[in-house]
Amino acid sequence: MENPLAGRQLSSHANSAECFRLVAYWIQSCLTDHEQCRRRATPPPLLPTRYLNVDSNPPRLCVAEDGARGFYVALSHCWGKTQPLRTTSATIADRLISIPTADMPQTFRDAVLITRELGLEYLWIDSLCIVQDSQEDWEKESAKMGDIYSNSFLTISAAAAEDGEQGIFQPRPARLYPPVELQPRDGDYNTLFVDMMPRNTLFETPQPVDTRAWCFQETTLAPRVLAYGAEMLGWLCDSGTKLEHGYSVDHSGGMAPPLLAPRLRQPPRSSPKSKDLEFYHLLDEKQTATRTWAAIVNQYTTRRLTLEKDRLPALSGLARTIQEETGDEYLAGIWKRDLGEDLLWEVDVLLAHEVREWRRPAQYRAPSWSWAAIEGPVRLPLRPQRTAFDDIFGGPPRPAEEFELLEARVNIAGNNLSNWHRSTAA
């Protein structure tokens, strides 16, 4: 057998010593071998407004002093049908003293344990670090959500947990395709395990986090994602994707990364551009960012929200990142430069049939010309990339070139996008 992939047998459970050793190895190689990842690790980022200090036992909620910096872990998880443990105006004083782990749902307890195992002190969990019954606090903090995940040292994805009670370390199910054990007669390997390569998802089977709208930007913006899938661990960083059984893809080599979520990191300017990546090398030119937005909206709108009103807020961190790169104006889910084409959005009929019916939300949420005005999967026109041939000989005209845009404007009433618009207008 030529060039077998060096693999390893899966651990019987995700909180085993071997799993933590593997995670330590992934982090170590990310910090020493990946140039662009290393750059993002210094200096320590600004701490979020509130965070959990897990160095104290039991953990407690802390308020960051102005300009305080430090490495922290963020948690990306499904809330599910049960409300996870929350901080409210009535409980915040207690939380600042202590949060007994016995009061925490299993997923939070596991996240505390992982953070401690990694040797870090700070952990950010949305339901505990944002005052849940304060509209003012929610607006202020949810506007920072993109930054909170993109500044995290690492984001834990509780990928297999449908809610807070299920926990991050779940019993591992029998694999759909168990590895095949071979005993080669010669060579460097005593035993080989032949296993499935993931196709277009990180894991073999879709995980609960893959269906949640909020989780989309959380794992897309995080510099490092440690994903606890039902079957195995996964690692995503700007440089590559790795799975516990040994599969790995180097993102800089031009191969498309499996999609836990698309990666939204700009490669270093000096690195060669790879044209065949739909998601990874997104922001190096405006045209590519435009194509990417269509792909993002297509994937994002297949996901579910607990609160219908969150359709635009749960994507605003990503929109802001793209806006910082392109300088374009964001109009309720559509970029001004692409308005001519993107007004042609349509319900993805095939998916709407599979996933759920499309419908108008119960309450007004966006102008009727925006895709955000409806519930259900939506497709923006996927534009072919303009080639050098088109530049010389003229390709098909874009709809935007067939009319003149005189003015486009949205007035936003009191949600986190208004904060964003104010800050970008400054």
Residues that bind Zn ion (CB under 5 A): 30, 34, 37, 237, 239
Closer residue to Zn ion in complex, CB, 31/64: 31
Closer residue to Zn ion in complex, CB, 30/47: 30
CB of 103 to Zn ion, least distance (A): 35
Handedness of CA 360, 364, 365, 370 (dihedral sign): positive
Closer residue to Zn ion in complex, CB, 142/239: 239
CB of 150 to Zn ion, least distance (A): 14
Q: Are strands 233-237 and 240-243 parallel, antiparallel or unpaired?
A: antiparallel
CB of 258 to Zn ion, least distance (A): 15
CB of 243 to Zn ion, least distance (A): 15
Q: Which residues pair with 383 in a beta bridge?
A: none
CB of 240 to Zn ion, least distance (A): 7
b (16+ CB within 10 A) / e for 126-147 = bbbbbbbeeeebbbebbbbbbb
Handedness of CA 87, 133, 219, 303 (dihedral sign): positive
Q: Where are the alpha helices (DSSP H) in 173-242?
A: 213-221
For 13, 27, 274, 288, 369, the CA distances from 39, given in Å and listed in that order, are 33, 14, 21, 24, 41
Q: Which residues pair with 379 in a beta bridge?
A: 346
Closer residue to Zn ion in complex, CB, 34/95: 34
CB of 17 to Zn ion, least distance (A): 23
Closer residue to Zn ion in complex, CB, 153/335: 153
Burial class (CB in 10 A: 0-12, 13-18, 19+), 391: exposed
Closer residue to Zn ion in complex, CB, 30/417: 30
Closer residue to Zn ion in complex, CB, 272/384: 272
Closer residue to Zn ion in complex, CB, 166/239: 239
Closest listed residue to residue 5, CA positions, set 264, 188, 127, 139: 188
Q: Which residues contact 186 (CB under 8 A, 6 or more apart)?
A: none
CB of 282 to Zn ion, least distance (A): 18
Query: Where is 72: in which H helix or E strand?
Result: strand 72-76
CB of 37 to Zn ion, least distance (A): 3
CB of 238 to Zn ion, least distance (A): 6
b (16+ CB within 10 A) / e for 148-157 = bbbbbbbbbb
CB of 39 to Zn ion, least distance (A): 10
Distance CA 324, CA 200 (A): 28
Closest listed residue to residue 164, CA positions, set 205, 214, 125, 218: 125
Closer residue to Zn ion in complex, CB, 29/418: 29
Please state at what angle helix 416-425 crosses helix 316-326, rounded to 10 degrees. Answer: 10
Chain centre distance of CA 209? 10
Closer residue to Zn ion in complex, CB, 237/322: 237
Distance CA 108, CA 75 (A): 9
